Amino acid sequence: MSELSFGIRDEMGDDGAAVDAVLVRAFGGRGEAELVAALRRERHVAVSLVATVDRAVVAHLLFSRLQIFRPGNVDAGLSLAPLAVDPAFQRRGIGSALVRAGLDRARAVGERIVFVLGDPGYYGRFGFSAEAAMGFECVYACEALQAIVLDGDWPGAAKGKVVYPPPFAALGE
């Protein structure tokens, strides 16, 4: 397959409908599009990136803010979800480029940890691991829950309860 030229940038005000369409096409339903709408509405969004081909939005990546509770302290973290590439543009490196750009951005603004629920065969290549998520309490704890620590080691004693933004609870209902 020939090399595809694409760009990555922050989502802008008038990208909403194009992002929505990519989410529906990639996931085959409205669940993730509704999740993104609710995360926006309730102001949980930390970073929202799009990939473009010939100026058209063909992929989207969102980071929202989550909280890590432990006695007497609350730490901030990020959730990577959803990640969506229009089926017509999948397997061309766009998803990987979006994840790498998103992690670079998170690191640059001092974020310390990112969680993702997804295929370890895919997310492992970016440094996510189930091992890094181990020890955190979370309603979504399972082998698909992975984390990447962006800033040194996350101290074992600080492995508290990871609480995703409320709109995630509606996904899959």
Ligand X SMILES: CC(C)(COP(=O)(O)OP(=O)(O)OC[C@H]1O[C@@H](n2cnc3c(N)ncnc32)[C@H](O)[C@@H]1OP(=O)(O)O)[C@@H](O)C(=O)NCCC(=O)NCCS
Total residues contacting ligand X by CB under 6 A comes to: 17
Among 62, 78, 85, 148, binds ligand X (CB under 6 A): 85
CB 106 within 8 A of CB 76: no
Stretch of 1-9, 10-18, 77-85, 149-157 contacting ligand X, by CB under 6 A: 77-85
Q: Minimal distance in Å, beta carbon 152 to ligand X?
A: 26
User: 19 or 85: whose CB is closer to ligand X?
Assistant: 85
Stretch of 117-125, 128-136, 151-159, 163-171 contacting ligand X, by CB under 6 A: 117-125
Q: Quote the DSSP letter at residue 129.
A: B
Residue 129 contacts ligand X per CB under 6 A: no
Residue 119 contacts ligand X per CB under 6 A: yes
Residue 42 contacts ligand X per CB under 6 A: no
Task: Give the dihedral sign, CA 137/98/149/132.
Answer: positive
In this structure, are strands 73-85 and 113-117 parallel, antiparallel, or unpaired?
Answer: parallel
Residue 93 contacts ligand X per CB under 6 A: yes
Counting every residue written for the chain, the total comes to 173
Q: What does the block give as tokens for 9?
A: 């940038």
User: 80 or 113: whose CB is closer to ligand X?
Assistant: 80
Among 24, 27, 45, 129, binds ligand X (CB under 6 A): 27
**Amino acid identity, residue 54?**
D
The count of other CB atoms within 10 Å of the CB of residue 55 is 6
User: 26 or 148: whose CB is closer to ligand X?
Assistant: 26
Residue 122 contacts ligand X per CB under 6 A: yes
CB 166 within 8 A of CB 144: no
The count of other CB atoms within 10 Å of the CB of residue 34 is 15
**Amino acid identity, residue 56?**
A
Residues that bind ligand X (CB under 6 A): 26-27, 82-85, 90-96, 118-119, 121-122
